[in-house]
Every structure is written in C-alpha cells, then in structure tokens.
Copies of this chain bind each other. A is one copy, B any other.
Amino acid sequence: MPLIAQPQSMHFPEALALASGAVLRGYDLAYETYGALNADKSNAVLVCHALNASHHVAGSYAGQPRSEGWWDNMIGPGKSVDTDRFFVIGINNPGSCFGSTGPMHVNPDTGRVYGADFPVLTVEDWVNAQALLLDRLGIAQLAAVMGGSLGGMQALSWTLQYPDRARHAVVVASAPNLTAENIAFNEVARRAIVTDPDVHGGHYYQHGVVPKRGLRIARMIGHITYLSDDVMNAKFGRSLKAPTLPAAHGSLPPEGADPARGGPAPDLREYLYSTQDVEFQIESYLRYQGDKFSDYFDANTYLLITRALDYFDPARQHGGNLAQALAVARARFLLVSFTTDWRFAPARSREMVHALLENRRDVSYAEIDAPHGHDAFLLDDARYMSVVRSYFDGIAKELQ
C-alpha cells in the first residue's frame, strides 16, 4: 500500500533562544510522521533535512502523483527504515521556505515580513527546535536520529546537545565542519545572491521581485559540487546540446555509460561558436537546474542555510579537538560516506569515526563505492540501502 503523507504544523508561542543571542518568537514548525508510535514511545526516528529539502521525507501526497518525499527510496513500509516498525518524523527547520516559519513570514515583533531580518540560525538552534517538537509529541528518547549532508550534522549535534535523547545516530555523507573550500563555494553562492540588484538588501518581497539571477548561479555552483567529475563525464561528457531536429544525439546517454575520461563518444556536429548560447549538454543541464530552483527556493533561506553549514564546528570550543568535542556522545553510530563525494569526502567521515572510536563509542562505518558524488546519499544504491537496512534491523531488535 503506498504511503500517504500528510503535512502537519505545530505552533510554538515560547521564544526560542538562538546561538547568536537573538530569539525566534511565535514560530511554527512543519512536520510529517509515518508509521505508528509504539506504546512506550521508543520507536521514533527523527530525519533531519539538508539544504534543499523539507519535512516531506517519505510517501506521496494524496492525489499528487510524483510527489514522493526526498528520502522515499530509504523510508517507508518495508524499506530500509521500515515505517511498519518505526515512527518516522520528518521536520522542516525554522528559516526554511517549505512550511516552517522563515524569512517570508511576518515578524510578530514588527508586523512586517522578516526578509533579511530573520535571525541567523545554527545547526544547534535547529536541534533545539526539533527537541521542543519531540517534547510536544511526548517522545523522551529517539530510537535514532538520522540525516545526510547538513542533515548528518544535525544528527551528530543531537548526540552532543542531548546525549540521552537518541539511542542511535545515522550520519550520512557528512562532515564535522566545512573546509575552507566548502565555505568558499557557499560564499560565492551568497555573493551571487546578495549582489543581484533584485535582492534589495534581502527585503525583495516588498518590491515584488526575487533575486533569481543570484539563485540560479548559487544552484549551478551547488550542483557542480554535488556531482563527481566522473559522473558528469559519464552523463554529459563533452556532448553538444541536442539539436532541434530529432537525431541519435538527441537524448542523454544512459547512466552507466562509460565513465572513462571524455565520457560518451564525441559529438561531431559543428560547434555553434557562441559565448552565450548553450553549446554543451552540461550547460543545458545546469541552466535548467538553476532555473527550476530559482522558481521555488527562497534566497534569504539560501543565505541562512549556507551560513548554518559554515558555522557548524563542534570541535571549535575544544581547541579543534574533535575527539574531545564528541566525548559527551552516548549514542551508537552508523556513518556512511561515498567514495566520489568531494564535497564531504570519506576522509571527513573517517575523522568522525576516529574521534568516536577514541571515545570508545560503538561505531559502524560504511564507505560506499559509488560514482555519483555527494548526490549518492539521495540515490538508490543496493549496498548503501542494505547497510542502512541492516543497521535499522538491529535497532528494531532492541525494541522487542
């Protein structure tokens, strides 16, 4: 039976104190739940989202085909995270543009839309907000908290902020902080948005415009860092954009094409010799991704979420010593990384594994040989799905 998702929302009248010293007052959190909470409320799994996702983690909305949640391949009845056994909660973080209170909502203190005045949030702030939602749901302790990428940072942070509230943490394709290069890519994306003449200092809603140029560039940069060089070569190589006439070259080569350098066989049509028209398929793909994103994503949210990524660094207050920072953790851990992920490379997961082992934590670690780069954490990969399934099978056994 297909899983039907139903978005819910909860209002929090109390002020949420933030790391910056600011507070967030009178906010709503959007969330979804799948499966049933058991009698002793011990089977809850919290799923944290990354930059471009939401509380809609699994299932589809009634009457809306192709509305699958972003981790629907992982989570659902009989899936790796089995909603027949677990009560799974997807939550949308404050500052997002997908339902929870964010920059396009009204600031109760001023009666005006927040825009650029929305307070800057950290991973720790999000975890605090998530904990308050669990309080209201009556869940004292999670069976597991899980997430990929920025979601993995939240899962890790849960084990540090609330060591006794998550028995397991599943941290996929993540890192204990951003490298200078990671921050650099975020900064270029932010500059593209902030220098877009339509941004109006972040108060563009009042001007009836959206800094789409900047959002497009931000998304194009992001997309490059989500994919591996090899998968880009295999998918697009140096192929030219499909001509308007139907032709053998008209469709993308299938995934799994020879991923050797140079990718698909060369395209012998003549170049257009243009600096502004689309010449190569990779250009067409990136422009499409940028256009699509700029139609639905909020620019202020992009700024906020990339900053939360930049700031996350639990070792910072411990002189850079990650093992010391993780000493408070009590959870058991599954970490997963992907060989071709150069955004959050396997070495970054191994740093966390080593720091946890130094603290004699119980850690499982899988380095999945996958060609898809950082995006692999969202894709179907038999070994990846099977590693997560086995781990959750183990958690399910503890429930019996």
Residues in A lying within 8 Å of B, measured CB to CB = 19-22, 116, 119-120, 177-181, 183-185, 187-188, 190-192, 194-197, 202, 213, 216-217, 220-221, 223-224, 227, 229, 232-233, 235-238, 261-263, 265-266, 268, 271, 273-276, 279-280, 282-283, 286-287, 290, 300, 303-304, 306-307, 310-311, 313, 315-317, 319-320, 347-348, 351
Contacts and interface: CB of A to CB of B under 8 A. Distances in A.
B178 A286 contact: no
Given A120-B275, A266-B319, A316-B268, A283 B183 contact: yes
Given A119-B273, A180-B280, A273-B311, 5 more contacts: A184-B223, A188-B217, A217-B217, A238-B313, A266-B315
Number of copies: 2
Contacts of A188: 217, 220-221, 224, 286
Contacts of A22: 273
Contacts of A229: 179-181
Contact of A311 (B187, B271, B310): B271
Given A261-B347, A265-B319, A224 B185 contact: yes
Given A274-B120, A313-B238, A282 B187 contact: yes
Nearest to A22: B273
Contact of A191 (B21, B197, B220, B316): B220
Contacts of A265: 319-320
8 contacts: A21-B273, A178-B238, A180-B236, A180-B263, A180-B280, A180-B282, A183-B280, A275-B304
A306 B221 CA distance: 17
